[in-house]
């Protein structure tokens, strides 16, 4: 975009461009969803990890993502009541709070963020990528909606690599089961060239996303790759991968990042531009959404910026080179599903996080362990110790929850974070003195 205003104003304009675009995209998306029935559009529900948006679009289906709905409820402070509603219906305290927020929202009329009722899905596309809860979640939805359910199984990356067999297995499922069923539900014939078109667009936006995420290798980092990163992954992890909207959004964002890089500026926070960068962290685990701003503030107030995170890879690990490939349209969908973070084995996660600490010159690893997320949390202490050992950098552990406000204790989290920052500081000055001596 053209900048014609003075530098001070231009930053404002630039900051707004991507955010306004995203807001507009989200609003449009929810309107499409809530108008699906009157407009005679069919709806597919699916999950962020393994989200086959390009394929879904080939059948003119509107993509509904229950996880994103739960996040919206969390940010809008509605999830607490939804979670309790689900508990009333018999779901235990330990169940994933995304699930409970969704179930509770359905029980209370399934009203979306735009204040209108979300549609009933016509098909549940479960592309299974490592989180067992997803399977149970869709079993509940199937019972509720009694609609077609498609199960695409992604083999777990236990040995840390993708083999031709794995891809074959998935391609077979896609060709023989997933695509025919989607054709049947939607009444639209599958057109592989249409898929190629979308995939081409995906790859273009993916390039920009990777550029943006990797800009955090700079000092100071122009972005926060966790709190800011959550906004940045929104379109590409959601219903926009493969669209012109996504291409445009990431182009705006890239320009903004370039602008900040050139000016040597740090991330923009809800309270304005961040002060001096004092700590660079790698974060493992999802964030807390019910107290998102308060949580973020505990970081930026102390000058802590997140330079890399695993959570921004749950919908795809593009930074390791994967791009959707229009020349191998079905295989590329399989590869995409195989690569998402939730499908990665513990050793792969350790390796990835250790590399992040080194490549992004981070001060250490912070684990945000989610009370109700077994998929992410299992093995996190081990991951922490191992990354610590490999990088020689201090690590720390905090505990919150996704969208259950009862599991966010601000004083406790702040206490641990401050201790961690001071620990990093202490280690640094210890090293400084050793060097001086």
* In the complex, minimum distance from the CB of residue 128 to other proteins, in angstroms, rounded to a whole number: 31
* In the complex, minimum distance from the CB of residue 396 to other proteins, in angstroms, rounded to a whole number: 8
Degrees, nearest 5: CA angle 240-194-254: 35
179 CA to centre of own chain: 26
Q: Is 432 near other proteins (CB under 8 A)?
A: yes
295 CA to centre of own chain: 17
Exactly one of 395, 402, 403, 404 binds other proteins (CB under 8 A); that residue is 395
Q: Nearer to other proteins by C-beta: 204 or 404?
A: 404
Q: Is 399 near other proteins (CB under 8 A)?
A: yes
Return phi, psi of residue 397, to 5°: -130, 120
Instruction: Show the binding pattern over residues 404-423: x = contacts other proteins (CB under 8 A), - = does not.
Output: ---x-x-xx--xx-xx--xx
Exactly one of 169, 231, 292, 397 binds other proteins (CB under 8 A); that residue is 397
* 8 A C-beta contact, residue 148 and residue 125: no
Q: Nearer to other proteins by C-beta: 22 or 354?
A: 354
Q: Which residues are registered as beta bridge partners of 61? A: 42
Q: Is 303 near other proteins (CB under 8 A)?
A: no
* 8 A C-beta contact, residue 89 and residue 103: yes
What residues have CB less than 8 Å from 271, skipping those under 6 apart?
A: 297, 300
Q: How many residues contact other proteins, by CB under 8 A?
A: 23
Q: Nearer to other proteins by C-beta: 318 or 421?
A: 421
Alpha helices for 289-409 (secondary structure H): 292-300, 329-339, 346-359, 374-377, 380-391
* 8 A C-beta contact, residue 325 and residue 199: yes
- Please give the residues from 361 up to 390 whose contact with other proteins meets the rule CB under 8 A: 381, 385, 388
Q: Nearer to other proteins by C-beta: 331 or 388?
A: 388
Q: How far apart are CA 211 and CA 308, in angstroms?
A: 13
Q: How far apart are CA 335 and CA 315, in angstroms?
A: 12
Q: Nearer to other proteins by C-beta: 252 or 289?
A: 289
Residues that bind other proteins (CB under 8 A): 381, 385, 388, 394-397, 399, 407, 409, 411-412, 415-416, 418-419, 422-423, 426-427, 429-430, 432
């Amino acid at each position: 975009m053209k900048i014609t205003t003075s530098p001070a104003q231009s930053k404002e304009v630039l900051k707004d461009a991507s955010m306004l675009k995203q807001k507009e995209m989200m609003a449009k998306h929810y309107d499409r969803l809530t108008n699906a029935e009157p407009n005679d559009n069919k709806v597919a529900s699916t999950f962020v990890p393994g989200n086959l948006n390009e394929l879904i679009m080939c059948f003119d289906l509107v993509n509904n993502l229950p996880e994103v709905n739960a996040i919206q409820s969390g940010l809008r402070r509605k999830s607490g009541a939804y979670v309790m509603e689900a508990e009333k219906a018999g779901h235990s305290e330990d169940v994933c709070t995304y699930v409970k927020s969704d179930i509770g929202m359905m029980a209370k009329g399934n009203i979306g963020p735009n204040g209108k009722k979300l549609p009933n899905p016509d098909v549940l596309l479960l592309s299974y990528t490592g989180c067992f809860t997803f399977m149970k979640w869709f079993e509940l939805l199937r019972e509720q909606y009694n609609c077609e359910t498609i199960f695409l199984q992604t083999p777990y990356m236990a040995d840390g690599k993708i083999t031709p067999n794995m891809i074959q297995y998935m391609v077979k499922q896609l060709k023989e089961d997933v695509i025919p069923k989607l054709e049947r539900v939607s009444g639209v014939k599958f057109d592989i060239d249409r898929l190629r078109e979308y995939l081409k667009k995906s790859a273009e936006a993916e390039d920009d996303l990777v550029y943006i995420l990797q800009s955090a290798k700079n000092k100071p980092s122009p972005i926060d790759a966790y709190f800011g990163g959550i906004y940045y992954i929104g379109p590409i992890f959601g219903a926009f991968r493969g669209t012109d909207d996504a291409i445009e959004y990431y182009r705006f964002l890239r320009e903004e990042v370039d602008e900040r890089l050139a000016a040597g500026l740090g991330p923009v926070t809800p309270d304005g531009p961040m002060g001096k960068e004092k700590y660079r962290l790698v974060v493992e685990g999802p964030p807390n959404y019910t107290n998102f701003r308060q949580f973020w503030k505990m970081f930026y107030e102390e000058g802590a910026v997140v330079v890399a995170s695993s959570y921004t890879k749950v919908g795809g690990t593009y930074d390791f080179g994967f791009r959707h490939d229009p020349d191998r349209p079905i295989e590329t969908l399989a590869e995409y599903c195989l690569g998402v973070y939730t499908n990665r084995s513990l050793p792969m996660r350790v390796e990835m996080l250790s590399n992040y600490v080194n490549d992004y010159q981070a001060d250490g690893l912070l684990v945000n362990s989610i009370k109700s997320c077994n998929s992410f949390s299992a093995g996190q202490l081990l991951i922490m110790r191992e990354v610590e050992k490999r990088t020689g950098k201090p690590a720390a552990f905090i505990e919150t929850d996704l969208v259950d406000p009862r599991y966010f204790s601000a004083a406790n989290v702040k206490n641990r974070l401050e201790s961690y920052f001071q620990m990093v500081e202490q280690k640094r000055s210890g090293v400084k003195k050793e060097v001086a001596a």
